[in-house]
């Protein structure tokens, strides 16, 4: 009898698992399929074709997939290369605290390019992929103007504090905060527009709002000061670099595929105003699948006319880790990283640059999303990236990010799941 197992059966979504199939005939051709349904009812699937070894076993960590969603030896290929049944959907865990993603793993006899309800698997099992570790707390934050969710590891602490920011779609995205808190950090997933009673649209970056959030986090009895970390992607990285520049509380900053200039919205802080570079939206291009390629709407930041829009990164007193996907189709994030670093002392910054990685560099376990629909745009947006290069970049950069934050904020308490 064929059997498929996943070890451990329950795990954090950024941790590796081992998939094994036993009880096949030697050299039997089989299809392995992973599938999950997200909270909006959207199904994501990956499949790979294997021949069993002489012992009648298949182990994706040792055996090369012959084809399917990927080819070659990828221990986590069935998880990392999940694709939506409906084009342009992005896999995002929304209910981080309440439930895991349930990933169904099945093995079918022969080559199954598609599988329907009539196709019976030889064996199946289910993996739980959690975005919060056991004993963690999620605390909704609605204090003063600050809106978000605070993730606390179990125990008395105090824990190093981190503020987590996402980009131009707004709202509150919590999955990265939950995973980072599972590494022993106290993490505030911070919304800054299009959430609760915050402004529906982003008209300006009011840095005093982010200062209020930093002070709130540092006041928490379970947060260890005196400094904190910030991690941001896209527009959130623009905010993170601004926080590092002007807020002395910020001592460690992770900037993922952002800019080094204000774009679209001015930055306001006390009596300071940094004017934005306008978006040249008329330069947008439609791709062959009808998605928006925004890379041309950003003016060349090296034009002297835009010098007043630069974030004055030379004022940064802490450390910055720049994470770049060289296949980012949103904008030229490598250029922006290099322009910011040119203003900083070399010992205060470091660049991780990944060929083939796209805009949305996330913790491992999030499959590449190269095009997706986002709030506020009439068509899907191109993010870029090549699946295998992107997967490797996510695995490597996540370990580097955790180590960077531990190095500059002090050790965190690691959880096991």
Mean pLDDT of 174-192: 98
Query: At residue 411, does pLDDT exceed 90?
Result: no
Mean pLDDT of 13-19: 98
- From the list 227, 209, 210, the residue with the least C-alpha distance to 164 is 210
The enclosing H or E element of 157 equals none
Mean pLDDT of 188-203: 97
Mean pLDDT of 136-163: 97
Kindly name the residue from 11, 182, 263, 328 that is annotated as catalytic.
Answer: 328
User: Helix, strand or coil for residue 3?
Assistant: strand
Percent helix, percent strand, percent coil in the chain, to nearest 5? 20, 30, 45
Token pair, residue 301, equals 């930041």
pLDDT band at 235 (very low <50, low <70, confident <90, very high): very high
Kindly name the residue from 11, 35, 69, 234 that is annotated as catalytic.
Answer: 234
Query: At residue 150, does pLDDT exceed 70?
Result: yes
Mean pLDDT of 400-413: 92
Percent of residues, the chain, with pLDDT higher than 70: 99
| Active site annotation includes 370 | no
Q: Which residues does residue 371 pair with via DSSP β-bridges, in sequence order?
A: 382
Token pair, residue 27, equals 């050299």
Residue 275: what pLDDT?
98
Given CA atoms 23, 24, 27, 31 in this order, what sign does their dihedral have? negative
- Determine the Cα–Cα distance for residues 12 and 59; give it in Å rounded to an integer: 21
pLDDT band at 417 (very low <50, low <70, confident <90, very high): low
Residue 166: what pLDDT?
98
Given CA atoms 299, 254, 234, 250 in this order, what sign does their dihedral have? negative
Average pLDDT of the chain to the nearest whole number: 97
The enclosing H or E element of 277 equals none
- Determine the Cα–Cα distance for residues 31 and 393; give it in Å rounded to an integer: 27
pLDDT band at 408 (very low <50, low <70, confident <90, very high): very high
- Determine the Cα–Cα distance for residues 257 and 337; give it in Å rounded to an integer: 8
- Residue 163 sits at φ, ψ, to 5 deg, of -105, 130
| Active site annotation includes 63 | no
pLDDT band at 168 (very low <50, low <70, confident <90, very high): confident
Mean pLDDT of 285-301: 96
Percent of residues, the chain, with pLDDT higher than 90: 96
The enclosing H or E element of 51 equals strand 43-51
Kindly name the residue from 220, 263, 359, 390 that is annotated as catalytic.
Answer: 359
| Active site annotation includes 59 | no
Residue 62: what pLDDT?
98
Contacts by 196-200 with C-beta closer than 8 Å and gap 24+?
A: 196/142, 196/147, 197/147, 198/147
Angle, nearest 10°, between helix axes 235-246 and 207-219?
70
- Determine the Cα–Cα distance for residues 139 and 150; give it in Å rounded to an integer: 5
- Determine the Cα–Cα distance for residues 129 and 20; give it in Å rounded to an integer: 17
């Amino acid at each position: 009898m064929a059997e498929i197992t996943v070890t451990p059966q329950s795990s954090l979504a950024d941790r590796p698992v081992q998939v094994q199939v036993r009880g096949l005939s030697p050299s039997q051709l089989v299809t392995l399929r992973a599938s999950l349904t997200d909270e909006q009812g959207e199904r994501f699937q990956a499949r790979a074709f294997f021949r069993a070894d002489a012992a009648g076993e298949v182990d994706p960590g040792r055996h090369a997939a012959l084809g399917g969603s990927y080819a070659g030896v990828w221990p986590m290929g069935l998880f990392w290369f999940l694709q939506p049944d409906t084009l342009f959907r992005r896999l995002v865990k929304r209910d981080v605290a309440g439930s895991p993603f349930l990933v169904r793993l099945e093995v079918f006899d022969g080559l199954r390019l598609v599988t329907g309800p009539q196709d019976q698997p030889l064996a199946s099992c289910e993996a739980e992929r959690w975005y919060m570790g056991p004993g963690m707390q999620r605390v909704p934050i609605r204090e003063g103007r600050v809106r978000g969710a605070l993730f606390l590891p179990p125990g008395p602490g105090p824990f190093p504090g981190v503020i987590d920011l996402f980009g131009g779609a707004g709202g509150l995205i919590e999955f990265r905060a939950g995973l980072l808190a599972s590494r022993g950090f106290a993490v505030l997933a911070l919304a800054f527009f299009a959430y609760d009673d915050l402004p529906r649209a982003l008209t300006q970056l009011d840095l005093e709002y982010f200062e209020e959030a930093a002070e709130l986090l540092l006041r928490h009895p379970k947060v260890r000061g005196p400094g904190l970390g910030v991690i941001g992607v896209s527009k959130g990285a623009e905010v993170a670099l601004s926080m590092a520049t002007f807020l002395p509380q910020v001592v460690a900053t992770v900037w993922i595929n952002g800019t080094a200039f204000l774009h679209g919205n001015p930055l306001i802080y006390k009596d300071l105003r940094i004017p934005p570079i306008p978006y040249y939206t008329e330069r947008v291009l439609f791709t062959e699948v009808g998605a928006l390629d925004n890379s041309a709407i950003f003016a060349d930041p090296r034009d002297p006319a835009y010098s007043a829009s630069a974030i004055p990164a030379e004022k940064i007193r802490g450390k910055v880790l720049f994470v770049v996907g060289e296949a980012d189709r949103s904008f030229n994030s490598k250029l922006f990283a290099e322009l910011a670093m040119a203003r900083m002392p070399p010992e205060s910054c470091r660049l991780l640059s990944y060929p083939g990685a796209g805009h949305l560099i996330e913790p491992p376990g999030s499959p590449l999303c190269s095009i997706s629909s986002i709030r506020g745009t009439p068509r899907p947006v191109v993010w870029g990236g090549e699946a295998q290069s992107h997967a490797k970049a996510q695995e490597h950069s996540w370990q580097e990010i955790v180590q960077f934050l531990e190095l500059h904020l002090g050790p965190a308490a690691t959880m096991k799941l």
